[in-house]
Amino acid sequence: GENVEQHPSTLSVQEGDSAVIKCTYSDSASNYFPWYKQELGKRPQLIIDIRSNVGEKKDQRIAVTLNKTAKHFSLHITETQPEDSAVYFCAASIVGNQGGKLIFGQGTELSVKP
Amino acid sequence: GAGVSQSPSNKVTEKGKDVELRCDPISGHTALYWYRQRLGQGLEFLIYFQGNSAPDKSGLPSDRFSAERTGESVSTLTIQRTQQEDSAVYLCASSSKMMGLAGGLSRTQYFGPGTRLTVL
C-alpha cells in the first residue's frame, strides 16, 4: 500500500526566513496531495493542496511543488511568522469518484522564533 | 454552516471495556472518514464510507474495531475489549460531492475536533 515519508521531523527558523518540508510517496497512482496544519490540541486544517496534473501551486506565502517522476512533493513557506508555528502533515491519496483515503506523513513540528 | 462534530470530546475507560465514538459530518457531505492519531504521530486511516458503496475497511487494525454509518449522516466507531494501545485521538472527516459535469467527490476532507480516548 501507499507509504508517505516526511522530513524533517522538526524545523526551527527565524521569523522572516523560509521553511521547506519535503515528502515522498510510494504509490505512483496517487493523484492528490494535501497539506494540513495542526496547532496544539486542535484539528488538522487544510492549508494547500495539489493535484497530480499540476507541478506547482501558490497561495500567498505558501507554495507546494510536485515532482511525479521522483514521487516527491514539498511545502514552502516564505516570510515565516510566529503564528506559522505548528505541526504540518503531508498526505497522499488516490482520489476517484468514490473519494479516497489520505495516507499521512509523520509530521513536521515547525517553530518560528521571533 | 456547522463543521464536523464528534462526541464525546474525551473518553476514559478501563482496559477490556467497549467504547463508542460518534461523528456528525457536515450536512450534505457524502463521504465520511475515520483516522487515529497517536500522541506525537501522524494520522492513520481506519475506514471510510461513501454513499451506498461498501465501506473501505482496509485500515482497521483488528476485528475489535468496527464502524457503522446511517445513510449519509452520523457514524459510530466501536472499539471492543479496549487495550492500552488503543489510546489515541480518533478523528473523523467528511467531504462533499463535487457539482458539475465532472461529478465525483471533492478532495477536501474537513476534520472534526476528535475524541481523545484513554484506556487505563
pLDDT tens string A27-54? 999 999 999 999 998 999 999 999 888 8
- Phi-psi region for residue A26, left (φ > 0), alpha (ψ -120 to 50) or beta? alpha
Residue B70: is its pLDDT beyond 90?
no
Chain A residues with CB under 8 Å of B56 CB are 101
pLDDT over 70 percentage in chain B = 91
* A48-102 confidence digits (pLDDT tens): 999 888 899 999 999 999 999 999 999 999 999 999 999 999 999 988 766 789 9
Nearest Cβ partner of B43 from A1, A89, A99? Answer: A89
A6 touches chain B (CB under 8 A): yes
From chain A, the residues in CB contact with B112 under 8 A are: 43
SS3 call for B46: strand
Q: Which residue type is seen at B29?
A: H
- By CB neighbour count within 10 A (0-12 exposed, 13-18 middle, 19+ buried), where does A89 fall? buried
Task: Using CA coordinates, name the residue in chain A closest to B55.
Answer: A98
- For residue B8, say if its preceding peptide bond is cis, omega within 30 degrees of 0: yes
The Cα B39–Cα A33 span in angstroms is 23
Beta strands across the sheet bearing A19-25: A4-7, A19-25, A72-77, A62-67, A56-59
Interface residues of chain B, partner chain A, Cβ below 8 Å = 31, 33, 35, 41-45, 48, 50-51, 53, 56, 58-59, 91, 95, 103-105, 107-114
Q: Which three cell numbers stand for residue A81?
A: 511568522
pLDDT computed for residue B97 by the predictor: 66
> Min CA distance, B15 vs chain A (Å)?
24
CA distance A75 to chain B (A): 17
β-bridge partners, A75: A21, A64
β-pair partners for A7:
A22
Site from A101, A103, A104 to mutate, B interface, most B CB atoms within 10 angstroms: A101
- Residue of A42, A91, A101 with shortest CB distance to B59: A101
